[in-house]
Each structure stands twice: as structure tokens, then as C-alpha cells.
Amino acid sequence: MERAFKSCRLDALSLKNSFIKTATFEGMYDDGLPNQKLLNHFVALAKGDVALSTISYGAVSPEGRTFKYQMYIHDESVQKLSEIAREVHTAGGKISIQLTHCGFFSKNTEIKKPLAPSRVFNAYGFLSGLAFSKSMSSEDMKKIKDDFANAALKLKNAGFDAVEIHMGHGYLLSQFLSPWSNKRKDQYGGSIANRARFPLEVFKNVKEKVGEDFPVLVKLNLSDGFKNGFTLEDCKYVASLLEKNACSAIVLSGGFTSKTPFYLMRGAIPLKGMIKNGSSFGEKITMALFGPLIIKKYPFKPNFFLDQAKEIRKTVGLPLVYLGGVDSKEGIEEILDAGFDFIAIGRPLIHDPNFLIKLERNEITRSGCTRCNECVVEMDRSGVRCVI
């Protein structure tokens, strides 16, 4: 496992080891602006020897937010984010941010109609009056491409070391990739070459804006985890396309938040807390009545995406980040043996920001995270944390 603790590079960026803190929504904002808790959270990770930490969900525009008080990238939030970047650097770490747009997955009542590749029913937003999405026009697409590129440049200028474009988990770019949500009849729908066209245009626009040396990662689904969704074969195609276009690294994940939210993390469904967190009485009742029926449970197993991820490792040569169920020395060895370049970790680092230091010092061999997933409830309550 020592090899994972050696210094390495991601494009021109030097990293103290191969570990990445993956994006896990923090919910540490005051009126949509990063607060002191968020800064402390990332400084603790840097002090815990995480080489590169990823701040979650930086919406590229106000319309890209899933709900009203989520952070979006603009001068005021970027000023606060630059303070976090500075403090993380002082603590010896590097910092990235996930850039995203929610597409139809929105209950942000500031917008009249959420945008998506096609008109679809929005179960997440219908109680907020956002029952259907609007199919995007070419003007909408042009604006969103610019929003991604401008956000990336602002963050580069603010001292960030990398950005990650979110093409997974059922958000806008993933909605384009998935045949379930993309029913377009033009050059942006149909074959995987067509479904990948807009996400690739977004990627190229970002790359052009930030320049060759600035790392741009992409978070991409291995599969959506349901019939008629994005498949592993689709993933192979998109991964090859990203490789041809000089993507710095692909973070492999899976699942579609509006349909298979626990496919991407596995383990227990914290339904009680999710009902309590419902933002309206109607939402609480709907969740209580239908939650158990619509939220499918997936048992946890260590390295749960490894079999699928290995197929992508065989397909492309660019740096790949393994993510999903990394929780022990043994698991890390397995990932390194399979030829992955970086290892991303979520819940074990929420459980304990010193997880890596303790592994390195042989104080532990496995994380104490039980995958109760109460951290998912906490992120919407007062900020992501482990309840154990």
C-alpha cells in the first residue's frame, strides 16, 4: 500500500499521494455562501493527508442549483472559496471543486421550468410546482457551455488546483448521456455518439478556457443502474472520447439520483431522517408513503464498482480514479493491483478525516464507517458529518 502514499502528478499538478476526497455534498453554506464550517472541513482533510480534496456541487449558474440556497459560482462565493483554497494549501493539500448543473433535478422555485435534454416528469420538484422540464434550445446549450467555462476560469484564478465536471449521477450532463432522459431527435440525441456530444462540448469549452496545464477531471457513470439507462458500453465510448480530448482523469461512479440514489453509495437507507428533512408537509408525506417503494436498497460490499471499473481500465489508458466502497488497506491493494492511478474516498473520510494517516501508521486496517448513511441526512440538516 506504500505505493499509494508516494508523490505523483495529475497533469502538471504535483500531489503528495494518490488519494482524492471525492465530492460529498457538505451543506455548509449561509444563504448559498461557503461558511467557516466548510473551510474547517477541508482544512481537516488536508491535515489528514488527503492529497486532493473536492468541494461538492458548485452550480455553474443560479439555474443549475437543485434548490434555492445551494451554492453557485459567482464573485461573492468565489471570494469565500479562494479563502478555502488558501487555507488548504497552507495545510499541505490541494483543492478541486465539482462543477455541475442539475438539469431537471430541481426544486428551485426561482426558475419557472428546469432545463433538460427533453421534457420529462420531475418527481423531485413536482411538489414545488416544477413538474416538467423544458427541452433545451441551442441558445440554452450555448449559455450553459459558457457558464461551465466561466465558472472553471473563475476558480482557476481563485487558486484552485483542478476542477471536476460532473457528468454522472443523473445531473444535466448525465441526463444527456442517458437514453432514459435524452429523447432528442436532433444531433444531441439517439446514438451514444449523439448523446455524448453536448457533454463533450462542455468539456472542450472548459478546457479551452482554462488552458492545457490546468487539470480538468470528469466524474462519469459506469452505468445508471437501471434498465434503459446509460450502460457500461456507453461508458467505454465516452471514456475513449474523453481520452482523445486530453481529459486529465476520469472519476468512475454510477447511479442516477432521481431513480437509483443509493446505487452510488450502497448500504442502509436512512428513511426516518429523510422524511424529517422534507422541506414541506407534502414532501414528508410523499416520502413516508412512497419512500420505501421507490428508493431501492443496494447492499454494501467493499470496492463495489471494481468489476465494472476494470472494464474501463482495459479500454482506456488515461488516468482513472477508482471510487466506491474503498474502506481498508486490503481494498486499496486490490485497486492498485487492478491498475488504477488514483483512489477516491467519500464516507470513510466523513467518518474520520484522519483515516489515511491512521492507515499509513498501521493504527487501523479498516474504516469504522458502517454505511448507515445518516451522513446523507446530516448534510441537509446542519452540514455533513458522521453520527457514529
Ligand X SMILES: Cc1cc2nc3c(=O)[nH]c(=O)nc-3n(C[C@H](O)[C@H](O)[C@H](O)COP(=O)(O)O)c2cc1C
Which residues belong to the active site? 171
Q: Does 57 bind ligand X (CB under 6 A)?
A: yes
Q: Cα–Cα distance between 46 and 92 in angstroms, integer? A: 6
Span 287-306, contacts to ligand X by CB under 6 A: none
CB of 121 to ligand X, least distance (A): 23
By CB under 6 A, name the one of 323, 332, 335, 386 that touches ligand X: 323
Map grid coordinates 432522459 to a residue: 181
CB of 372 to ligand X, least distance (A): 10
> Stretches 86-94, 207-215, 225-233, 339-347: which one binds ligand X (CB under 6 A)?
339-347
Q: Does 376 bind ligand X (CB under 6 A)?
A: yes
> Stretches 29-37, 66-74, 139-147, 320-328: which one binds ligand X (CB under 6 A)?
320-328
Q: Which is nearer to ligand X, 196 or 252 (CB)?
A: 252
By CB under 6 A, name the one of 10, 18, 19, 24 that touches ligand X: 24
Q: For residue 330, which amino acid is it? A: E
CB of 367 to ligand X, least distance (A): 9
Q: Cα–Cα distance between 114 and 19 in angstroms, integer? A: 35
By CB under 6 A, name the one of 252, 384, 385, 386 that touches ligand X: 384
By CB under 6 A, name the one of 17, 53, 56, 77 that touches ligand X: 56
> For the CA atoms of 340, 346, 349, 351, what is the dihedral angle to 10 degrees?
-140
Paired with 121 in beta bridges are 132
Count residues contacting ligand X (CB under 6 A)? Answer: 24
Span 261-280, contacts to ligand X by CB under 6 A: 264-265
Q: How far is CA 249 from CA 216, 318, 342, in A?
A: 7, 6, 9
Q: Does 346 bind ligand X (CB under 6 A)?
A: yes
Q: What angle do CA 340, 46, 101 make, to 5 degrees?
A: 70
Q: Cα–Cα distance between 212 and 112 in angstroms, integer? A: 37
Q: What are phi and psi for residue 140, nearest 5 degrees?
A: -60, -45
Beta-carbon count within 10 A of 82 CB:
17
> Stretches 79-87, 111-119, 148-156, 344-352: which one binds ligand X (CB under 6 A)?
344-352
Q: Which is nearer to ligand X, 61 or 194 (CB)?
A: 61
* H/E run at residue 274: helix 271-277
Q: What angle do CA 376, 378, 381 make, to 5 degrees?
A: 125
State in Å, rounded, how far the first CA of the chain is from the last one. 27
Q: Which is nearer to ligand X, 206 or 375 (CB)?
A: 375
Q: Does 23 bind ligand X (CB under 6 A)?
A: yes
Q: Does 253 bind ligand X (CB under 6 A)?
A: yes
Span 158-187, contacts to ligand X by CB under 6 A: 166, 169
Q: Cα–Cα distance between 386 and 366 in angstroms, integer? A: 16
Span 76-105, contacts to ligand X by CB under 6 A: 98
Q: Provide the 8-state DSSP code for 221.
A: E
> Are 152 and 210 contacting, i.e. CB atoms less than 8 angstroms apart?
yes
- Which chain residues interact with ligand X by CB under 6 A? 22-25, 56-57, 98, 166, 169, 219, 253, 264-265, 323-326, 345-347, 375-376, 379, 384
